[in-house]
Amino acid sequence: MPRPYLFGSSLLAASLLWFVNSAIGADTPQPSLHERIDRLMEQGSVGPSAPICSDADFVRRVWLDVAGMVPPADEVRAFLADTTTDKRAKLIDRLLASPQFNRHMTLVLDATINERRADKGVTTPDWQIYLYKSLTEQKPLDQLLREVIISDGVDANLRPAAKFMLDRDCEPNVVTRDLGRLVFGMDLQCAQCHDHPLVDDYLQADYYGLYAFVMRSTVFPDPKNKQIRQIAEAAEGEANFKSVFTGNSGEKVQPRLPKGLGTFEPVVKKGYEYVVKPSKEARAVPKYSRRQQLAGAFEKSIHFRRNLANRLWAQVMGRGLVHPVDNHHPANPPAHPQVLTLLSDELPALKYDLRNVLRELLLTNTYQRSCEITAPANSDLATIEQQLSQFANQRTELVSAKEQKKAVWNESLAKLEEARAKLTEAAKTLNPLKAAVAAAQAEVAKAKAAVTVAQADAEKKKTHAVAVNTAAAKAKEAADLLKDDKVLVEAAAKIAERAKAVTALEAAAAKKTTSLTAALEPLQKKEQEAQAAVDKELATLPTPAQITELETAERNANAVFNDAQYAVADLETRESLTKLLQQYAELQVSDVAAAARLWNQLVEELANRGQIALLKPLTAEQFALSTMQAAGLISVQQQAAEAAVTKSAPEEWKKASDADKPVVMKKLSEPKVFENVRGQLAEFVRLYGGLPGQDFQATVNQALFFGNGSILDTWLKPTPGNLVARAQEKKEPAEVADELYHALFARPATADETTAISDYLKERKEDRPVALAELTWALLASSEFRFNH
C-alpha cells in the first residue's frame, strides 16, 4: 500500500514534544540549529515533500551557493566517489572556509547593498576590496552594517563603507527608503506623503522616524581634492510631516526605528554644537550624531533581526520565508513563522557570523531537498479528512488565542493613546503656563543683569571713594603741617571736596543696588509661582519614562499579537493546501487530466513552503564565473596567480609550513584571480545584472552576446588547460561526454546523452575542435546550466 501523506503535527503533538523536552532536563545538549529548523519545517509540512537531492545535484548546488560557480570536474568526480556519510557537511565546511566564498559573498553583498548603482565617490573595486577583507576577517554582519551607516569617507580604513551613502548622494528620502528595505525589511516609500495606502502597518510616522536619523547628513567635497566626496552632518534640523490625505501631522519628529521607540536627543549648549563647525573649508562634525545613533540602535530591533534572518534564508533557499523580502508586515505572514522566529532569535547567539548562519541553513533538509517530486499514484482520503478535522479544532484554539492577545494589545494601545491624549490636551493649558514661566524668567534675567551691573558700578565707586578719601586725608595731614603753603592748602580743600562728591556717588550706587535687589525679589517669586503652576499641571501627567514604558508594553503586545496572527495565517495556508490535496485525491479517480493540472499548482505551493527545492536562475555573477570555470578560464588564471605568488614569495607564503601552503596559496592567489577576471565579469553583469531576487528573463542583447560575442568565442578555442582542449584529448565519445557533463552539469552523462554526442562527433570528424567548441557552447546555453537546481 502506498505510504499516506504525512501532515504537520497537531497542537497536541507539539505540546507532547515540549513536555518530553522539558522532562529530559536542562543538562541535555540542545539540538543544533539546523536540526531544530528541520523539526519545525517537518511540523509545518503539508502533504508530500521532495526527497533529499542526489549527490550530483548537491555538489553543484552548494558550489554555486557558497563559492559562486559550478565545481571543477575533478571535484565532482571525487565527491561522487566518496562513500563517507558526512561528506556533505565536510564539503560545506571546506567551501565556507575558502577564498571563493569570500569572493562570492563580496559580489552578493555588493549587489544587495548598492544594487548596481554608478560609482559616486568610492569606486566599486575599492568597495569590493573592503567587503572581501571584511569577509576574510569574519567581520560580523552587524558590525559591517554599522560601518556602512557611520562611515563618513574620511578614515582611510572605513572610507569604502561610505559608498552606501555617497552613491545615494546622501539624499535623505532615497537613503530612508533603502534603509527601510535593506535593514528592516519594510518598503516605506509609499508612507512618505501619507500612511501606506495598501499596508495598514506602514505609517508616515515610521517613515519620518527613520528619515530623522539621516536628514542632517550631506555630501561634502574634500577641500584639497573636490573629486573626493565625504559626508558632513549638521547639528540642527528637524523632520516634519503632514499627510496629504488626512492632514495628520508631526512636528520635530524624534528619530526612531520603524515600530520602535523614539530617541531623546541631548540638549547641547548654544554655540557648542559642533566638534568641527561647518564652513566652505571644513566638514561639519556635530557633537551628537544622529547617524551614529542609528548605527548603535538598529541591532536592538526585532525587525532588523527578522529581516536579516529572512534575507539569509532567501539567499540559500531562493525565496524568503517572508516574500517579497522587503514586505514584512502582519498581512504578509511568513511561510513558517516559528522558523523565522527561531532563526532571528539565534542570530545574536551566532554572533551575526555569516559562515555560522549559512552553515546551519546549508545543513538543513530544506536546503538539500530535490527540485523534483513525483506525483503520487493515489492518496489516502481518510487521512486527509482526519487532518482537516484536526485543523478545524486547532483553528478554534488559535483564533481564540489571537483574540486574547489582540485584547491585551488593544488594552496596552488604549493606555498609551490615553497618556498621549493627556499630553496633547494638557498642552493647551501648559503652553500658556510655560509661556508665563518663560516671560517671568526673562524678567528675572533682565533684573539680575541690572543688579549685576549696579553691583559692579557700586563696587567700582566704592573703590574710587576709598582711594579719594585716603588721598584727602593724606592731603589734609600735609596741609596741617604746612599751613603757610597756600597751594597745598587749596589742593587739600579741593581733594576733600572731591572726596565728598565721590562718597555721594558711592552712596547713590549702593542705594540703586539695594533698590534693584529689592525689585528682583517679587520677580523671582512670580517666576517661582509660574513654575509651580507648571509643576502642578505636570504632576497630573505621565512622565517621559512612563510614556516609554507604555510604548514598550504596546510594542511587545503588538509583537505577541502579530505572532498569533501568523500562527492563524499559517494554519489557514496549511488547511487550504490540504483541501487542494483532497481535491487532487478526488480528481485522481474522476478526472486524471484535471488532477495533473492541479498537481502542478500544488508543486508550486509546496515549493514556496520549502517542501520542494526551488529552481533558481543563476545571478549574473554566478553565470559569469560558472561559464569561466566550466570553460577552464578560472583554472588557467589560478595557475597564473599561483605562479605570481611563488615568484614574489610574500612573507606569509615563505613562513607557511608545507601542510599549510595549499591553504595559504589559495588565500594569496584568489584576489589575483578575482582581479584578472574582473573585466569579463563586468561584461556579464552589464548584460545579465538585474537586482537581487529578480526573475531571469532573456533579452536580445544577451542572446547576441552569448551567440556571437568574442569573449565566449575566445574561451571556447582549445588552449592548454581549458575544457575544449581537455575534451579534444579524449579519444572515445563516452570520455568526451563524461568530461563535458562533469564540468558543466556536475554529473555523469546519461546513456542517451552519450549516444547523442557520439553521433554528433561522427559527423564532424574533419573539424572536431570546432565541433567540440560548438557542443560546449550548446551545453553552456542550455537551461540546465543556466539554473541552480
Across the range 584-597, mean pLDDT stands at: 94
Instruction: Give the helix/strand (H/E) hosting 251.
Output: strand 249-253
**Beta bridge pairs of residue 656:** none
630 in the same domain as 533: no
Let me know if residue 117 belongs to a domain.
no
Residue 505 in contact with residue 535, Cβ under 8 Å?
Answer: no
**What DSSP string describes 467-531?**
HHHHHHHHHHHHHHHTTT-HHHHHHHHHHHHHHHHHHHHHHHHHHHHHHHHHHHHHHHHHHHHHH
Q: Indicate whether 427 pLDDT > 80.
A: no
Per residue in 335-373, pLDDT tens? 999 999 999 999 999 999 999 999 999 999 999 999 999
Residue 562 in contact with residue 462, Cβ under 8 Å?
Answer: no
Per residue in 201-234, pLDDT tens? 999 999 999 999 999 999 999 888 878 899 999 9
Residue 350 in contact with residue 308, Cβ under 8 Å?
Answer: no
Let me know if residue 111 belongs to a domain.
no
732 in the same domain as 631: yes
Q: Which cell is 757 given? A: 554526442
Question: How many structural domains does the chain have?
Answer: 3
Per residue in 44-92, pLDDT tens? 999 999 999 999 999 999 999 999 999 999 999 999 999 999 999 999 9
Region for residue 614 given its phi and psi (left: phi exceeds 0; alpha: psi -120 to 50; beta: otherwise) = beta
Let me know if residue 558 belongs to a domain.
no
| Cis, bond preceding 31 (omega within 30 deg of 0) | no
Q: Indicate whether 280 pLDDT > 70.
A: yes
Place of cell 575558502: 98
d(CA 244, CA 743): 59
The pLDDT value recorded for residue 696 is 55
763 in the same domain as 687: yes
Which residue, of 238, 272, 295, is where some domain finishes?
Answer: 295
pTM: 0.86
Helix (H, G, I), strand (E, B) or coil at 595: helix
Let me know if residue 623 belongs to a domain.
yes
501 in the same domain as 400: yes
Let me know if residue 315 belongs to a domain.
no
Question: pLDDT grade, residue 434 (50/70/90)?
Answer: confident
Length of the chain equals: 789
Classify strands 787-788 and 616-617 as parallel, antiparallel or unpaired. Answer: antiparallel
Q: Which cell is 486 given? A: 597756600
Q: Indicate whether 22 pLDDT > 60.
A: no
Q: Which cell is 505 given? A: 556717588
Q: Is pLDDT larger for residue 552 or for residue 12?
A: 552
278 in the same domain as 421: no
| Least reliable range by pLDDT among 57-61, 255-259, 529-533, 758-762 | 529-533
Question: pLDDT grade, residue 695 (50/70/90)?
Answer: very low
415 in the same domain as 544: yes
Which residue, of 507, 525, 552, is where some domain finishes?
Answer: 552
Degrees to nearest 5, angle at CA 44 with 598 and 589: 30
| Residue 632, domain extent | 616-788
Residue 608 in contact with residue 580, Cβ under 8 Å?
Answer: no
Residue 644 in contact with residue 637, Cβ under 8 Å?
Answer: no
CATH code, domain carrying 484: 1.10.287
Which residue, of 552, 568, 594, is where some domain finishes?
Answer: 552
659 in the same domain as 534: no
Q: What is the mean pLDDT of the chain?
A: 91
* Those residues with Cβ within 8 angstroms of residue 754's Cβ, 6 or more apart along the chain or in another chain: 733, 734, 737, 738
**Beta bridge pairs of residue 276:** 285
Let me know if residue 460 belongs to a domain.
yes
